[in-house]
Amino acid sequence: MKASILALLLVGAVEPVEHPHTYLLSIRDLPVDENSYVNEFSIDTWGVTTVATCHIPTGWTISAGSSADPSGRISGTGSLGVTWLDHKRLNLLSEIVLVRLYSPIQRRTIRSRTGEVPATFIGHATIGRYGGDNDDRKVRLTWRNVRLTQAKHCPALRF
């Protein structure tokens, strides 16, 4: 009995993860409260191919692309103060890009004597405060600030 339970557990434990997978990428968990806003972000990627830009918030420019090597970048910038995203409108950074990952997420950069392999997602966002003069601060973005939802295509257009 113990052997059959152990065998069942092992079968589930060694199930391979198949890649590539396609996902809708959202930016999340930015440190924005009722007195602050995000006016830009930039995330360097590794092992990620941009398939399509799915959603661009009004007044923003979203850029997404990949290099011939495994590197790439996803970034966005609000054009004017009225387009910057406060805590009530951060959901406008949901499902902005359709991406393909070729391996599981690497949470941190791995360094060795022979070089380094970057984290899958690493970057920053610029957070400003209402009423503050030149009070912008850059906050670090990692895999924790990226939500991936498995998808085959962009969702229907939002108006």
pTM exceeds 0.75, yes or no: yes
- Alpha-carbon gap, residue 148 to 24, rounded angstroms: 6
Those residues whose C-beta lies under 8 Å from the C-beta of residue 128, and which sit 6 or more positions away, are 36, 37, 38, 39, 84, 135, 136, 137
pLDDT tens, N- to C-terminus, the chain (159 residues): 444 443 433 343 434 456 799 999 999 999 999 999 999 999 999 999 999 999 999 999 999 999 999 999 999 999 988 899 999 999 999 999 999 998 899 999 999 899 888 999 999 999 999 887 778 999 999 999 999 999 999 997 655
